[in-house]
């Protein structure tokens, strides 16, 4: 089922005299249950794309449809409701509230939706098990490792059962072991729980955990890879070759 549809979007920055095209006529679709990675060098427009999908930023032209609803037309309170009910966010720097425990950080996403306290407890415990963070639930962010923090942030993102999970360089601040653990969890959430994940990264290893990689260069779609039946290693090698091509043209 088609979940997300990006149709000819453009995003310009700056004034008329010095116009920067961050996104230049980009179109693609994401199916429900897909784990998509978006790759590209710094300044390629991948974070801008994510910001536009998450309604944090507005497109200059074009349309973004989620479940057939045009989110570029949303305004004011609809925007908040959209982010709250449809999206889950995972950031590079975790963005956990340092005054709250892990449990409360995860619960916060639900309390904003006015879920009852009893239901909150059930769902937080469930998602904590899926992300293997049950033993850190009562800890504060400063008492956790980076990997744990990112898994707590991921729990917060999926606990509301969003249509789409957006991850912006989720492994960017993690060491490779923690990154591996996190990505395994993403894979688990995608396969076992049917979560649709869209992840921005510049790291080929991270991207190799996904099922589909979109390469962006200068605001345009440069290439697209699907994992198919490849092993992760084989997929990784294919990604590396495209990245080399991407870099080689520079």
Partner 1 sequence: MLWRLSVSNIRKSLRDYAVYFFTLIIGVSVFYLFNAIESQTTYLIVSEDTRDMIKLVNRMLSGVSVFVAVVLGLLIVYASRFLMKRRNREFALYLTLGMGKGEISAILLIETVMIGAGSLIVGMLIGIGLSQVTSAMVASLFDADMTSFKFTVSKGAIIKTVIYFGIMYLVVMVFNTFMISKCRLIDLMYSGKRSEKLRLKNPVVCVIVFAVSLFILIYAYWYVGWNTDNVGERGIILAIIAGCVCTFFIFWSVSGLMLKILMSVKGLYYRGLNTFTFRQLSSKVNTVVFSMTVICLMLFVTICTLCGAFTIRNSLNSNLEKCCPADYQIYTSLIQYNEENESEEYIITDIGKLLEECGYDTDDYFEKTVEVYTYEDKSYDIEAFFGEYLSELTDRYLYDSTESKEIIMTLGDYNRLRELYGFDKLTMADDEYIELCNVKDIRNERNIPLENGHEITVFGHKLRPHSGECIDTCVMLSNMPQEIGVTIIPDSAADESCISASRFTANFNTQDKQKISGYLEEIDWDRIYNKLREKNNTAFSDDGNYGVSLSLRSKYSLAQENIGVKAMVTFLGLYLGIVFLITSGAILALRSLSDSADSIGRYEMLRKLGTEEREINASLFRQTGLFFLLPLVLAVIHSVFGMKFAYYFLNILGTTDIVLSMTMTGAIILLIFGGYFVITYLCSRSMIKENKE
Closer of 9 and 144 to partner 1 (Cβ): 144
Is 1 or 117 the residue whose CB approaches partner 1 more closely? 117
d(CA 212, CA 218): 20
Please report how close the Cβ of residue 43 comes to partner 1 at its closest, in angstroms: 17
Distance of closest approach, residue 139 Cβ to partner 1, in angstroms: 11
The least distance separating partner 1 from the CB of residue 131, rounded to whole angstroms, comes to 17
The encoded tokens of residue 100 equal 């709250």
Q: Which of 54, 150, 178, 208 binds partner 1 (CB under 8 A)?
A: 54
> Which of 83, 58, 65 lies closest to 156, judged by CA?
83
* Window contacting partner 1 (CB under 8 A); options: 17-25, 35-43, 74-82, 179-187: 74-82
201 phi, psi to nearest 5 deg: -155, 160
**Measured from the CB of residue 228, what is the shortest distance to partner 1 in angstroms?**
34
71 φ, ψ (degrees, to nearest 5)? -80, -10
Site string for partner 1, 147-186 (x = CB under 8 A): ---------x------------------------------
Residues 183-242 that bind partner 1 (CB under 8 A): none
Q: Assess 64 for contact with partner 1 (CB under 8 A).
A: no
Shortest distance, position 239 Cβ to partner 1, whole Å: 29
Nearest to partner 1 of 112, 245 (CB atom): 112
Taking the C-alpha atoms of residue 226 and residue 29, their distance in angstroms, rounded to an integer, is: 13
In the complex, least distance from residue 56 CB atom to partner 1, rounded to whole angstroms: 7
Minimum distance of partner 1 from residue 143's CB (angstroms): 9
Give the x/- contact pattern for partner 1 in 102-141, rule: CB under 8 A: --x--xxxxxx-x-xxx-xx------------------xx
- DSSP string spanning the chain? -EEEEEEEEEEEES-STT-EEEEEEEEEEEETT-EEEEE--TTSSHHHHHHHHTTSS--SEEEEEETTEEGGG--HHHHHHHHHHHEEEE-TT----TTS-HHHHHHHHHHHTT--HHHHHHHHHHHHHHTT-GGGTTS-GGGS-HHHHHHHHHHHHHTT--SEEEEESTTTTS-HHHHHHHHHHHHHHHHHS---EEEEES-HHHHTTSSEEEEEETTEEEEEEE-TT--HHHHHHHHHHHHHHHHHT-
Which of residues 82, 188, 205, 222 is near partner 1 by CB under 8 A? 82
**Footprint of partner 1 (CB under 8 A):** 54, 56, 77, 80-85, 87, 89, 91, 95, 97-100, 104, 107-112, 114, 116-118, 120-121, 140-142, 156
């Amino acid at each position: 089922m088609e979940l997300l549809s990006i149709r000819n979007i453009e995003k310009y920055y700056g004034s008329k005299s010095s116009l920067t095209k961050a996104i230049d006529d980009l179109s693609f679709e994401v199916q429900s249950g897909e784990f998509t990675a978006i790759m590209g060098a710094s300044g390629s427009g991948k974070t801008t794309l994510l910001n536009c999908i998450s309604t944090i930023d507005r497109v200059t032209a074009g349309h973004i449809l989620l479940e057939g609803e045009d989110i570029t037309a949303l305004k004011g309170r609809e925007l908040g409701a959209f982010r709250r009910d449809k999206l889950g966010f995972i950031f590079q720097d975790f963005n956990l509230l340092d005054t709250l425990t892990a449990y409360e950080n995860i619960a916060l996403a639900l309390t904003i939706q006015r879920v009852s306290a009893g239901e909150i407890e059930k769902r937080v415990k469930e998602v904590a098990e899926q992300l293997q963070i049950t033993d850190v639930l009562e800890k504060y962010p400063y008492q956790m490792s980076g990997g744990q923090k990112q898994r707590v942030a991921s729990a917060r993102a999926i606990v509301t059962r969003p249509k789409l999970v957006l991850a912006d360089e989720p492994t960017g601040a993690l060491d490779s072991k923690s990154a591996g653990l996190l990505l395994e969890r993403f894979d688990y959430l995608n396969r076992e729980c049917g979560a649709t994940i869209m992840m921005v990264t510049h790291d080929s290893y991270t991207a190799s955990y996904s099922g589909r990689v979109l390469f962006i260069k200068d605001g345009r779609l440069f290439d697209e890879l699907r994992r198919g039946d490849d092993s992760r290693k084989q997929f990784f090698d294919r990604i590396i070759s495209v990245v080399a091509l991407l870099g080689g043209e520079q």
